[in-house]
Amino acid sequence: MDYGGGYSTTSYGAQGGAGGGGFMSGSQGGSQPNKGNISQSKDTLRPCTIKQVLDATQPHPDAEFKIDDIEVQQITFVGQIRNISTQATNITYKLDDGTGTVEVKQWIDSEASAMDLGAGGGGGGGKNNSSGLVEDEWARVWGRLKAFNNRRHVGAHVIRPVADKMEITHHLLEATYVHLYCTRGPLEPSGGKGANGGGQMNGQYGGDGDEMGMGGARGMPSVSPNARRVLQCLKETPQNNEGLNVQHVAASLRMPLTEVMKAGDELLTQSLIFTTVDDSTWAVLDL
């Protein structure tokens, strides 16, 4: 995975309440942004998981919440709706993304709606924006993290159904990317030397050099010689996105099929390869 470079601003497709937001990385020059040293606009938008929402810190009641020790104003996340409760002034949704559950409140009286939605206007109106939100379906939320009576909830600017389930995977990857950027900084290009010297890259993700000829993307775990040969074959043999079948590997290496299968099990256990179309077709897991 090419992890590095700047993380550009984005509205994340919100129809209201998130204009001009977006996570902003620090300097894009030679200096490495450190934890807590990332510049943000006044009204940033941070993609996160619900666990990060629940673990966010608040130095004092009037302070902004912090995720990864960085202040956040607006947040966005996805979750499956577990419960919907309608009151006179708001609709409360309980969302679960697999990392935790949190309540999301959307105000529906006119005064609170005008205050929450601001210039976003038409896209985030309470009742209109609730269309299609049903229990057990996924939703995307934009809002602000709040605390009341020692209980946290998210005050939603916008909440809408997730139409494409790939948005869930995309969001979780995006939240992971931003978390790593905030806590470890960007990585140097492959083969570069990190700030700490040696072969360790910034953020401490990579290994030193091309260990055992495996490309240097990460340190090579202790595996048998046969496993190394199989991995080398998988890395160097031209193939399509489906990877290579064990029969092809055995023929290429002139190795008994039983030995190839044993080596493959060893590599699968180390998470160096993964199965694709079936249990006998493998591809290299490049990190």
The model's pLDDT over 60-101, given as tens digits with 9 standing for 90+, comes to 888 889 999 888 889 999 999 999 999 888 899 999 999 999
Task: Tell me the domain boundaries of the chain.
Answer: 1-209, 211-284
Q: Under CATH, what is the fold of the domain 1-209?
A: OB fold (Dihydrolipoamide Acetyltransferase, E2P) (2.40.50)
User: pLDDT digit string (tens) for 210-256?
Assistant: 333 344 444 556 788 898 899 889 888 887 777 888 899 999 898 99
- Give 148: exposed, middle or buried? Use CB within 10 Å, 0-12, 13-18, 19+: exposed
More confident residue, 196 or 54: 54
Give yes or no on whether 1-209 and 211-284 have one common fold. Answer: no
For 118, half-sphere exposure in the C-beta direction (CA atoms, 13 angstrom radius) is 11
Class assignment of domain 211-284?
mainly alpha
Least confident of 132-136, 150-154, 214-218: 214-218
Q: What percentage of the chain carries pLDDT values higher than 70?
A: 64
More confident residue, 235 or 118: 235
Query: Distances in Å between the alpha carbon of 116 and those of 4, 127, 233?
Result: 35, 14, 58
Residue 110 binned pLDDT confidence (cut-offs 50, 70, 90): low
Give pLDDT, residue 126. 40
**What residues have CB less than 8 Å from 153, skipping those under 6 apart?**
92, 102, 103, 104, 105, 146, 147
